[in-house]
Amino acid sequence: MAFNSISYGILFLVAFGGAWLLARHQRLRILFLLVVSYVFYASWNPKYLGLIILSSTLDYFVGGAIYKTESGIKRKWLLTCSLAVNLGILCTFKYFNFFSREFTHLAGVFGVSLEPWHLNVLLPVGISFYTFQSLSYTIDIYRKQLEPAKWYFQYLLFVAFFPQLVAGPIVRAKMLLPQFWTQPRVTNEHGSKAIFLIGMGLVKKVVIADYLGAHLVDPVFSNPQMYSAIENLTAVYAYAFQIYADFSAYSDIAIGSAALLGFEIPINFNAPYTATNLRDFWQRWHISLSTWLRDYLYIPMGGSKNSSARTYFNLMATMVIGGLWHGAALTFVFWGTIHGLALVGTRVVQRSKIKSHLHPMVAKIIATVLTFNVVCAAWVFFRATDFQTAIMVFKTIATGGVSIANLSLPAAGILGGALLIHWIPQHWIEHAKIVFSKVPSFIQAIIVIGLIVVSDKLAQTDVAPFIYFQF
């Protein structure tokens, strides 16, 4: 049940009506939204509903036990139990076949012939997201930064809250849990801004992401040697905007949907391709994941408190694990490695005493262009199905061919438009939200219907799933 489907629209209307009818009855509202969230999740594969319930139940009781005990040893054992079960489930479904395959290959290098074990299971949708969200709860209680949830079903809803369940943002318990007990309020202005976000998300998804994917990115990456250098390079840039438009669209619709239900969840993107270095990029891209990795992985490993060498190791380890989090393939590990090396390089430059003699504006433009191209080079490995395809893309680009015979004008136009829109100042967008919220409701309805019609005309025959559903 994707956000850009009719079935989601129907489910959300049911959720919206029921949630506001029960606005004064917190427990009933929690139970109602929990049922809606489980229906939403079960629409992909109902048999995996038990996994999210198991994970949530474990962490609810473990979190409560950690809070009540003062014994340091018991607290550590309880936290270890939560980590072991959650990560064990994640590794079994997402990484077992990957590690089994790679171990078999490694054994072959040493002359040992083995048959890899293979689990014939599907990857549960959103497991990486809700696992990290649930783990942050027990870790925060262990750190004495959070009190446990007041009610079992409140915690179940925190983990399974349907707007952000499948692909984030990864919301911290201290932000979302208290909202379940407060009286929801949505003013006309807030509601209008939420509708604006949802409309913007739909346009990003259907008009930009899906169109670029179907008409430029997918054909080139499926057979890069059949296209010229300029067409391959354009496809690489197109993928950068496809994945941004696709993922930020999900976040926009999630934030807007939650806002219409009376909840606030954090932003997840902030014009990432305007970043001037890789550190700046990760403060703008998938913000909820980057801050999670920082707070629960990088800082616990020592962060930047120790020697430079240890700091660089911590950065590399964090990004390699972040790459593996995205997918069980060496291409994702390599993608994370590239970002780790780029972050190390950024830190080395920032710590050096070398001063630029360029004009600040010129230096900023050069830094932004360089950062964008490093990110795009890494995206090649993220998008390619294997290393051979990624290398072929780079080899083809290196030939320097300038033919654009296979480059459609609409796709090029949408890519150019996406690039320009990305550079629109944030305060312009905020002003547009305010203007939209002040126009009469019937004009808002006309605008939204117009966006839906345009999106429908440009939509592919099949509803394309969001890219981050696979993670």
Q: Is residue 339 situated within a structural domain?
A: no
Q: Which of 35-44, 278-287, 344-353 has the lowest mean pLDDT?
A: 344-353
Whether residue 403 sits in one domain with residue 446: yes
pLDDT band at 5 (very low <50, low <70, confident <90, very high): confident
Please state the rounded mean pLDDT for residues 349-353: 80
Q: 303 in a domain, yes or no?
A: no
Segment 450-456 mean pLDDT: 67
Look up the domain containing 74 and give its range: 6-183
In this prediction, residue 96 carries a pLDDT of 79
**Of the residues 183, 205, 234, which one is the last residue of a structural domain?**
183
Structural domain contains residue 284: no
Q: Residue 92 belongs to what H/E stretch?
A: helix 72-94
Q: Which pLDDT value is given to residue 21? A: 93
What number of other Cβ atoms are within 10 A of residue 96's Cβ?
15
Do 257 and 377 reside in the same domain of the chain? yes
pLDDT above 90: residue 336: yes
Per-residue pLDDT at 315: 94
Task: Return the pLDDT at 27.
Answer: 94
Note whether residue 152 is domain-resident. Answer: yes
Same domain flag for 116 and 254: no
pLDDT for res 78: 95
Residue 327 pLDDT more than 90?
A: no
Long-range contact list for 122-125, CB < 8 A, 24+ apart?
122/45, 122/48, 123/93, 123/94, 123/470, 124/45, 124/48, 124/51, 124/52, 124/93, 125/41, 125/44, 125/45, 125/48, 125/166, 125/469
Would the pTM of this model clear 0.75, i.e. be above it? yes
pLDDT at 461 over 60: no
Residue 85 lies in a domain: yes
Based on the domain organization, do 155 and 222 belong to the same domain? no
Catalytic (active site) residue 118 = no
Domain boundary residue, one of 183, 199, 228: 183
pLDDT band at 466 (very low <50, low <70, confident <90, very high): confident
413/422 Cα distance (integer angstroms): 14
Domain membership of residue 296 (yes or no) is no
Say whether pLDDT at 462 is over 60: no
Co-location of 369 and 427 in the same domain? yes
The mean-pLDDT minimum among 99-103, 191-195, 338-342, 464-468 falls in 464-468
Confidence of residue 434 (pLDDT cuts 50, 70, 90): confident
3-state DSSP of 291-336: HHHHHHHHCCCCCCCCCHHHHHHHHHHHHHHHHHHHCCCHHHHHHH
Lowest-confidence segment of 79-93, 190-204, 277-291, 366-380 by average pLDDT: 190-204
Domain boundary (124, 152, 183) is at: 183
Q: How far apart are CA 424 and CA 429, in angstroms?
A: 7
Q: Do residues 109 and 238 both lie within one domain? A: no
In a domain, residue 177? The reply is yes
pLDDT at 408 over 90: no
Number of domains making up the chain:
2
pLDDT tens digits for range 360-397: 888 899 999 999 999 999 999 999 999 999 999 999 99
pLDDT in tens, 131-148: 999 999 999 999 999 999
> Does residue 248 share a domain with residue 157?
no
Residues 196 and 174 in one domain: no
CA distance 287 to 267: 7
The answer on 221 and 90 residing in a single domain is no
Render pLDDT for 198-218 as a digit per residue (tens, 0 to 9). Answer: 888 888 888 899 989 999 999
Q: What is the maximal distance between C-alpha atoms in the chain?
A: 74
Q: In terms of domains, do 30 and 149 share one?
A: yes
The verdict on 137 and 208 lying in the same domain is: no
Active-site choice (215, 326, 339, 357): 326
Whether 144 and 230 share a structural domain: no
Q: Considering the domain boundaries, does residue 139 fall inside one?
A: yes
